[in-house]
Structure 1
Amino acid sequence: MAEQFDKIHSHIEAIANAMPDPIFVMGQDGTYLDIIGGQERSLYADGHNLIGKKYTDVLPEKMAERFLKVVNKAIMSGHLQEIEYQLADSEVQGIEPLRTTEGQWYEARVYPLDSEAYDQPAAIWLAINITNRKHMEEQIERLSSNDPLTDLYNRDYFMGVIDEELNKARLNHRPLSLAKINLDCFKRITDAYGHEMGDKAILTAAHAIKNVVKDLGYIGRLSCDQFMIVLPEIKAVDAFRITKLAQETISSQTIQLDKDEKTCLTSHAGVTELRDANEDSQVLFKRVNKAIKALDGTREKTRIL
C-alpha cells in the first residue's frame, strides 16, 4: 500500500513539475510558500528564489497590495478569483530576468487551498502568460479605429472622438475648433499615375498634418483625400493658424511622380468652432464644409466660418 502511494505521489509530482505554467502557493500573510511547474523558460523566469519571501519584498508596492487583496479574497470567499496584470521581470526582485523589454501580461486564476500543509490559510495562483493574446487584441482594436494606410483615426472612430470632445467642451465651458483639409490634386495624380502614387500623396499629406498638430488635437481621415482635425480648448482664430501651417507643410513636400516629373500638393481648408452649447458634430461639419465651399472662385486656401 505504501509503495503504491509513493508511486502515485511520484507520478503527481512529476506531472506537476513538468507543467509549463507556474503555480504559486500564496500565503494569507503575504508570503510565497511554494512554486510548482513553470518550466517554459521562453515565457517565465525561474521563480523558485521567491519562496519564503513576502510579496512586498519582491514586487512593486501597488502590485504587492493587489496580489495580497486577491489572495485573501479567494481564501475568505472560498471561490475562484481571476486577475490580469502586467509585470516586467526586472520589477521582481530576486529572479533572473529573461528579457529587458516591456512588461509581460499575465492572467492568474486564484483558488483557496484546502490543506493545512503550509501551516496557514493559502491559495494556489496559476499564472498564464497572455502577452501574445493581449498584443493581438490591441492590433484588432487598432484596426477597428485606425485607417490602415495613414494610421490616422478612421471616419467612424473619429466621429466618436468628436462627440466625446464636444461633450467635454460643453461640460467645462471650454472652446473647441474643427478644421477640414481637402487635397486638390489627389484625383489627378491617381488618374495619371495610379493608386500607388495616390497613396504616396495621401501619406505625404497625413505625415505633414501630424507633424503640425502633434498633441494639440486629434486627426481623422474622412475619405480618400479629406482630413479633419478636432482641436480641444483652441479657438477658431488659433485653429486657423494651425490649419494654414499644416497646409503650408503639405505644399512644401515634393512628390516624385516619375523619372522626369515632380509635383507639390495643394489643399483647401475650412475652420469653425463650437459657438453654442446646443450645437452637435453635424452642425460643425456643415459649417466647415460651407467654409470650404465659400473658397470657390477665390484665391484663398483657408477660411473661418
Structure 2
Amino acid sequence: MSDALKHTYSHLEAIASAMPDPIFIMGQDGTYLDIVGGQERTLYADGSTLIGKKYHQVLPEKMADRFLKVVQKSITSNTLQEIEYQLSNSDVNGVSEGPSGGQWYEARVYPVQGDSYGQPAAIWLAINITSRKHMEEQIEHLSSNDPLTNLYNRDFFLDLLNEELNRAKMNNQPLSLIKINLDCFKNITDGYGHEMGDKAILGAAHAIEKVAKEMGPIGRLSCDQFMIALPEVKAVDAYRIGKLIQEKITGYKFKLDDGTTTCLTSHAGVTELRHPDEDSQILFKRVNEAIQNLSGTREVIKIQ
C-alpha cells in the first residue's frame, strides 16, 4: 500500500471512529460483525462488546427476530430499510455505560457491497431520536388535553364521545352524559383575577376526577364547563354520580386574596342515549336543556 493510500485510509478511519452515531456491520446470519463510531456516551452505550455475537444472544427474542428480518430483507432486496425501535441498556446483554432508561432509535439499513466480511452483510446506522420522540409525545398530548387541568379538551372529548356512542349502539348498551357548569367562576375571576379563577377550575377538575376518573372520558368544554361520558351507565345511575361530584366540588374550599374562604357551587345536567339514531349533538342539546330547566328552582341537578 502506497504512503498516499495509507494516509487516506488513516484519515477515513479517524473520521469514521469519531462519528457520534454508531454504524454496525450486521451479518445475514444474525451476527454483529463490526462497529464504527458511536462514541457519544450520552446517547449510545459501548457496542464494541457485541462484535462476534448473535442478535439472539444479546437482544430480547422478539427484537432479535425483528433485527434479523430487516437485515436479511435489505440484503436480499438490495434496498434501503428503515426501522424505529426502543431499547435500554438493561435489554442488551453485555453493554456498559451509555444513557439510562429506554431510548428510541431510528436505523437506516443498507447492504454492503463485496465480500469483505465473509458473508452478505448490511450497515446499520443507528441514530438516537429519544428527544424527538419526547417532543412528539408532548405535542400529541397538547393536541388532546387541556393545558390547565390535563382533562381532555373539547375537540378530543367530542371524538371520544362519538366513539363511545358508536360502541354503545353496536353493543346495545347504555351510555350517559353529565354536564357540570360552575356557578361562581365568573364572580371569582371578576373579583379576584384569573389566577384565582384557575385555582377554582383546578379544584373542580380534581373533584370530578376523584369520583369519575375510572368511569369514562372527562372533558373541559370551556373555561367553566365540564362533561363526563359514562359508558354502560344508565341516566338514573349517572344522576347519583353527578350528585356525588357536586358534593365533592362544594366540599373544595380555598382562600381568596382578601383572606375569606369560599366554596364552589355548580349546576349539572344528565341525559342518556335513548335511540340508535341519536348523535352527540342531540345528547348535548338535551343535557344543556336539563341545566336550563334548573333556572328558578332549588334543584342543582336534573335528568332530561
* Class of the TM-score when normalised by the shorter of the 2 chains: over 0.9
Equivalent position amino acid for 1:65 in 2? D
- What CA distance in whole angstroms lies between the structure 2 residues aligned with 1:135 and 1:251? 38
Q: Tell me the C-alpha RMSD between the 2 structures.
A: 1.3
Show structure 1 runs of 4+ deviating over 4 A.
none
Equivalent residue, structure 2, for 1:159: 158
Q: How does 1:20-35 map to 2 (within 5 A)?
A: 20-35=20-35
Equivalent residue, structure 1, for 2:232: 233
Q: Which moved more, 1:157-166 or 1:179-188?
A: 157-166
Equivalent residue, structure 2, for 1:243: 242
Q: Give, in angstroms, the shift of residue 235 of structure 1.
A: 2.0
Equivalent position amino acid for 2:203 in 1? T
- What CA distance in whole angstroms lies between the structure 2 residues aligned with 1:207 and 1:237? 24
Equivalent residue, structure 1, for 2:189: 190
Deviations 1:53-96, CA, capped at 9 Å, x for gaps: 11111111111111111111111111111111111111111111
Q: How many residues align?
A: 304
- SS of the aligned residue for 1:48 comes to helix
- What CA distance in whole angstroms lies between the structure 2 residues aligned with 1:120 and 1:242? 67
Equivalent residue, structure 2, for 1:207: 206
Equivalent residue, structure 2, for 1:16: 16
- What CA distance in whole angstroms lies between the structure 1 residues aligned with 2:12 and 2:100? 35
- SS of the aligned residue for 1:285 comes to helix
Equivalent residue, structure 1, for 2:89: 89
Q: Is the 8 A contact 1:106 1:130 kept in 2?
A: yes
Q: Is the 8 A contact 2:203 2:249 kept in 1?
A: yes
Q: Give, in angstroms, the shift of residue 144 of structure 1.
A: 1.5
- What CA distance in whole angstroms lies between the structure 2 residues aligned with 1:114 and 1:175? 63
Q: Is the 8 A contact 1:90 1:97 kept in 2?
A: no
Equivalent residue, structure 1, for 2:37: 37
Q: How does 1:1-305 map to 2 (within 5 A)?
A: 2-101=2-101, 103-305=102-304
- What CA distance in whole angstroms lies between the structure 1 residues aligned with 2:201 and 2:270? 21
Q: Give, in angstroms, the shift of residue 297 of structure 1.
A: 1.8
Q: Give, in angstroms, the shift of residue 173 of structure 1.
A: 2.1
- What CA distance in whole angstroms lies between the structure 1 residues aligned with 2:103 and 2:166? 36
- What CA distance in whole angstroms lies between the structure 1 residues aligned with 2:68 and 2:51? 15
- What CA distance in whole angstroms lies between the structure 2 residues aligned with 1:38 and 1:260? 60
Equivalent position amino acid for 1:53 in 2? K
Q: Which runs of 5+ in 2 are unaligned?
A: none
Equivalent position amino acid for 1:279 in 2? E
**Could you tell me the percent identity over the aligned residues?**
70
